[in-house]
Amino acid sequence: MHYTGYLNKMAVYQHNPVRYYLNTENDLFFLNDLLGKKIKISYLHKIKCFCGKIVDSVYRMNFCQSCFFTLPQASDAILKPELSKAHLGIEERDLEFEKAYQLQPHTVYLAISGGLKVGVTRTSQQITRWIDQGAVAALPLLLVENRYQAGMWEVELKKKFSDKTAWREMLTWKDPDIDLLSIKEEVKQMYPDRIQEFSSDDTIYRFEYPKIAVPEKITSVNIEKNTSLEGELTALRGQYIVLNNSTALNIRTYEGRMVDIVI
C-alpha cells in the first residue's frame, strides 16, 4: 500500500477488537489487517486546514489563523464546556451552530484509559469518544440536558478525578483494575440532592484494541520534528498507531499534515 495525502483522524468502529481505518480523502483502509507489517510515514512539510487552505502553521485543534479566531468549531467552549452560553441565548461566534452543538444531551462519564478519568461527551457520540481516548472501560455517570451543565459537573468532579488520559500507561496496557460502579455510587453519595441527574445506565462499556505486542515503554513521535518514522505496526489504541520500536504516533494530533505512507 502506498498513500500520499493529508492525515485525517482514524475512523473507528465498535467491534471486538475495535476496527480501525485510515481515513484518506478518497477511501478507507482497514488497519487491523496490517498488524505485523512494516510501515513508514514521512512528513512532506505541507499543512491543510479544515477549510482547505494550505498554511505554514496551525493553531489549537489544527485550525489556520483565520479559522481559529472566527469559527465556532474553534471557540474556547469546545474544549471548556463550562464556558458554553447557548443555553442563555448568548452568541459567542455563531449562535445557530452553538445551539445545535451545545443544546443536546451530554454524558459525564468515568473511564479507564491508562488510569481513571472523568470526561464529557455528547451522548450521541459517547462510544466514539471512549474509543478515541483508548478507554478499556467506560461508565455513564450523569446525563444532562446541555453542554454547559456537563461542563460545570466536570469542573466539580475534577476536584476528585483527573480529566487527562494517561497516554503512556494506556499505550503500554497498564490499565488499573477499578470498580467503576463502586466509584459511581460513591459520587452519588456525595451529591444526594442531585441524584436525579445521575444516569440510570449502569452498563460498563468495555473495549478491546488490536495488538500483536505490547511495548514495555513508549515514546510519542513529533512528526514535524522527526519527519519520518518507520517500524512494524504492532498495536492501535485511541488515535495512536504503535510500532515495534516503542514509538507511537497520535494521528489526530497531526490531522491536516501531508504525509507519504508506505506499507
- Where are the domains positioned within the chain? 2-69+211-262, 80-206
pLDDT at site 165? 95
Q: CB pairs under 8 A, 24+ apart, for 191-200?
A: 197/142, 197/143, 197/144, 197/149, 197/153, 198/141, 198/142, 198/143, 199/107, 199/140, 199/141, 199/142, 199/143, 200/143
Closest among 40, 45, 20, 23 to 261, alpha carbons compared: 40
Residue 119 in grid coordinates: 470526561
Local structure of 19: helix, strand or coil: strand
pLDDT at site 26? 76
Strands laid side by side in the 137-144 sheet: 116-122, 106-112, 137-144, 205-206
Distance CA 94, CA 5 (A): 31
| Residue ranges for the chain with pLDDT beneath 70 | none
Distance CA 77, CA 99 (A): 12
pLDDT at site 158? 97
